[in-house]
Amino acid sequence: MVDVGDKSATKRRAVARATVRTTAEVTAAISDGSMKKGDVLAVARIAGIQAAKRTSDLIPLCHPLAITKVSVDLTVNGTSIEIEAAVETVGQTGVEMEALTAASVAALTVYDMCKSADKAMTITDVALWEKSGGRSGDYRR
C-alpha cells in the first residue's frame, strides 16, 4: 500500500456512474415492481452502499477508510438503468475506488436480479465522473 501517513486529512468526495442496458420489458418490470426477486432498485442501492464500505476487502491495495457518506441513486431511463454513486470522507486518501466499487456492484446486482428475464443485459460506462479534495485537486469528466 502507498504510505499516506504524511498527507493532510481533507474532505474528499468522488462520484462514479455505471449503466445497465436491457430491454423495455425488463425496465418496465423493474419500474412496476414485478421482477421475481423483488425491488431491484432498493436491493441494488443497498448492495452499492455495502460495497463502498467493503472496498478495501475487495481491492487488495486500497486503504480501509472511515466513510462519512454514501449515496447510490438508480434511475430507469428507457431501456437502461443509470447508476450514480457518491462517496465522501475526511481523510488522507481519496474515495474514487469506493465510488467505482459502489456503482459496479449496484450494476451487478441489477444484472443478478434481472438475469432470468434478459441474459443479454450489458453493464457499460463504468467511470469516475468527479472527485474533489486531496493534493491532486478536483477532477470533473
pLDDT digits over 62-94, tens only?
A: 999 999 999 999 999 999 999 999 999 998 888
CB 80 within 8 A of CB 124: no
Does residue 141 sit within a domain? Answer: no
Cell of 53: 464500505
Does residue 91 sit within a domain? Answer: yes
Residue that has been written with the C-alpha cell 465510488 in this structure: 99
Domain around 48? 10-132
Does residue 103 sit within a domain? Answer: yes
User: In total, how many domains does the chain have?
Assistant: 1
Does residue 46 sit within a domain? Answer: yes
Does residue 138 sit within a domain? Answer: no
Mean pLDDT of 89-107: 95
How far apart are the C-alpha atoms of 19 and 139, rounded to whole Å? 21
Q: What is the CATH number of the domain that holds 98?
A: 3.30.70.640
Mean pLDDT of 11-26: 97
Does residue 60 sit within a domain? Answer: yes
Selected catalytic residue, list 6, 32, 39, 112: 112
112 tagged catalytic? yes
